[in-house]
Chains A and B, each alone.
Chain A
């Protein structure tokens, strides 16, 4: 039919402006998306329902706080009810993050393939808008809608912030990190909606990524920890083996003579002050080594870093008294607990241990470990300290923030999916995904 003329391969131009991102274009797409997706009153009803749920939850937590949220000091002494603020703040933050991770895919995971199937995408692409403007507009619009739910929870966050005297700046940081995590999930949804033609596939894949970030980042390192168990040499400062054996015998004999003094009833002070109680021979403490099987969690801990809950908890405000110093100090503050747990896991097994200090608990002292500085602290009930100098250097728990790394990884992930989405919308199309029509 037609004579074959020049068979030259067309080259893609540099003036297609695929990546141009103008304010005008962005605003146009955001406006279109918002008016398209915010429909009637249904949306408002969902928002109000959400507001009521968060409000009811906050009120219940605050009201019930004094009934169950007890506070103990490092030695287990009851200190009365803990302040409700940090606990409520933590639960609300984690709750809105969780809800955001669940609802965000709903706004983006079918955004591009849905438009494609409706035949509205190509008409928009045929305008002067760039691919980046279309994708970014969709992202911002979805982010705004998901963000409306976050903002609706804000009054209760502020309430718990006030009753917990939590610094405003850190609260803002925490809230901003939640927003950023939501944006990441929105971008992932957009990427999949550009990759898959079927909305079911893109939705499932987006939730798979959310689940992978939230759960797999905990399960995988937990399982991998088993593989990190190694025979490890521990440097200890404590009683040499034969001294320990002698003391154990004396202790055993004493308990035989005092059948009422079960270990679990042992209050410490009375027994320790009993004239014939075998005092641990702390003056015989010395350095020695032994080997034991230890899990080297410091090799796998980094896997938990991209977990959105870890990121947000780590970015969350620490209480006014600083980071928790011992396990249980803030065990009703979920954010502080996650923060401490991540750092414990990051540190791995203690390779140098002070076993001698713990013997002072047999002499009526309170012994506890300050996790922030890593030292073992011995105090008498009257507040005095024994003349004990630990031979073990303190192992300080890192307080370096972890969340910027996790957030960075997540933002990279979101950026990757954004890039994928723009690439997939780049026109003129060279290749089409299977089963796709342009128009």
Chain B
């Protein structure tokens, strides 16, 4: 099998590298004259969290529909957990947990009923479905809503229920479309933990999100898409110039220090932090050393944007 054009970023290599994840080769799909997916090729390894990153309308949702076995690609080959989405569609559906960006609810069904129904729809026994539903409701902190209709849930709670729903049948592959939208910060942290533990359990996790900071801490790989295509994107290297955020216990001392070493900075009014442009990570190291030597009470130095975000923005610049 020849290696498809891949744009995955290998940051670390967790376990189970041999288990089949997702492979897509030159996938295309158009709706009338709109080419929603216009040549996507990538691999998503099992046992890791892969970020699917791209602007609105770049074909992320369409791609996930194809991977979930709901939409037929016009051309190209797609395998999910080693199963061809066309030739073993049902096998794919049994293996995949797909969470759409809009989670519809059945107005009058309770959370428990929804989860057990989906367990049953995956051929679980009534007892097993009930047990699994209770387990997931606990895990997603929805136990108190278990027997209330899903329509009373807030948006974030619905997202949690949606996540519980895709986990009901313990799928090998998770396709999550904007899972964090509407979630409160604590739920997002828990979502990250959930994704991480799923990956550690050897599952293939593909997450699309606009909230790149959420993915920043959890992703192992990234697939960048733009205008229906996967694009080659290198995570901004250590040598690239990027913005850094500095904060010190004594803001005045920090500004005086920066002026003395002749580093231009910007400051948002009313904010104690200052922003500087540094050409590389080495520059950052030098800055910290110098600041400590100069006895500046520096307590924070961090890149302004995460690596995903920087790459994403770099992509957008490219497009212009």
Contact = CB atoms under 8 A, between A and B. Distances in A.
Interface of A: 1-13, 15-17, 24-25, 28-29, 31-32, 35-36, 39-40, 115, 118-130, 427-430, 432, 438-439
A13 B96 contact: no
Interface string B261-290: 000000000000000000000000000000
A157 to B, nearest CB: 32
Interface string B4-45: 110000000000000000000110000100000001110000
Contact of A128 (B4, B40, B70, B90): B90
Contacts of B77: 10
Nearest to B175: A126
Interface in B86-131: 86-91, 93-94, 96, 98, 100-109, 113, 117-118, 120-123
B88 A15 contact: yes
Interface stretch (B50-58, B60-68, B197-205): B60-68
A108 B113 CA distance: 22
A17 B41 CA distance: 28
Given A13-B87, A35-B108, 11 more contacts: A4-B39, A10-B75, A12-B86, A15-B87, A15-B89, A28-B117, A31-B117, A32-B106, A122-B70, A123-B165, A127-B121
A13 B88 contact: yes
A9 B104 CA distance: 33
B73 interface: yes
B25 A428 contact: no
Contacts of A35: 108-109, 113
B179 interface: no
B106 A126 contact: no
Contact of B26 (A2, A15, A430): A2
B196 interface: no
Contacts of A438: 65, 70-71
Contacts of A2: 5, 26, 39-41, 229-230
A40, A115, A119, A128 — which one has the most chain B CB atoms within 10 A of its CB?
Answer: A128
Nearest to B226: A1
B206 interface: no
Contacts of B102: 119, 439
Nearest to A127: B121
Contacts of A430: 72
A39 B89 contact: no
Contacts of A8: 75
The interface residues of chain A, by DSSP majority, are classed as: loop
A7 B69 contact: no
Given A2-B229, A11-B86, A429 B72 contact: yes
5 contacts: A28-B120, A118-B104, A120-B104, A123-B103, A124-B121
A125 B90 contact: no
Interface of B: 4-5, 25-26, 31, 39-41, 61, 65-66, 68-73, 75-77, 84-91, 93-94, 96, 98, 100-109, 113, 117-118, 120-123, 165, 169, 229-232
Given A118-B104, A432-B31, A129 B86 contact: no
Contacts of B39: 1-2, 4
Nearest to B41: A2
Contact of A119 (B89, B96, B100, B165): B100
Contacts of B26: 2-7
A398 B180 CA distance: 72
Nearest to B66: A428
Contacts of A28: 117, 120-121
Given A2-B40, A6-B26, A428 B70 contact: yes
A42 to B, nearest CB: 11
Nearest to B90: A17
A196 B11 CA distance: 48
B113 A428 contact: no
B12 to A, nearest CB: 26
A4 B102 CA distance: 33
B25 A5 contact: yes
A29 B113 CA distance: 12
B66 A36 contact: no
A163 B101 CA distance: 61
B289 to A, nearest CB: 43
Nearest to A2: B39
Contact of B123 (A9, A24, A31, A122): A24
A40 B98 CA distance: 31
B207 to A, nearest CB: 16
Contacts of A130: 90
Nearest to B231: A1
A125 B72 contact: no
A126 B232 CA distance: 31
A13 B229 CA distance: 26
A428 B85 contact: yes
Contacts of B69: 126, 427-428
Given A39-B108, A119-B100, A119-B103, A31 B75 contact: no
Contact of B89 (A1, A32, A129, A427): A427
A206 to B, nearest CB: 22
B125 to A, nearest CB: 10
A36 B150 CA distance: 11
Given A36-B107, A128-B93, A13 B70 contact: no
B299 to A, nearest CB: 44
Contact of A439 (B65, B66, B88): B65
A11 B84 CA distance: 11
Nearest to B25: A5
Contacts of B84: 13
A429 B29 CA distance: 11
Contacts of B121: 25, 28-29, 124, 127-129
Nearest to B165: A123
A1 B226 CA distance: 10
A8 B78 CA distance: 13
Nearest to B32: A434
Nearest to A7: B75
A126 B96 contact: yes
A2, A7, A36 — which one has the most chain B CB atoms within 10 A of its CB?
Answer: A2
A15 B71 CA distance: 16
B82 to A, nearest CB: 15
Nearest to B26: A5
B117 A427 contact: no
A71 to B, nearest CB: 52
A427 B70 contact: yes
A43 to B, nearest CB: 11
Nearest to B100: A439
Contact of B71 (A13, A121, A129, A429): A429
A21 B68 CA distance: 22
Nearest to A117: B104
Contacts of B122: 127-128
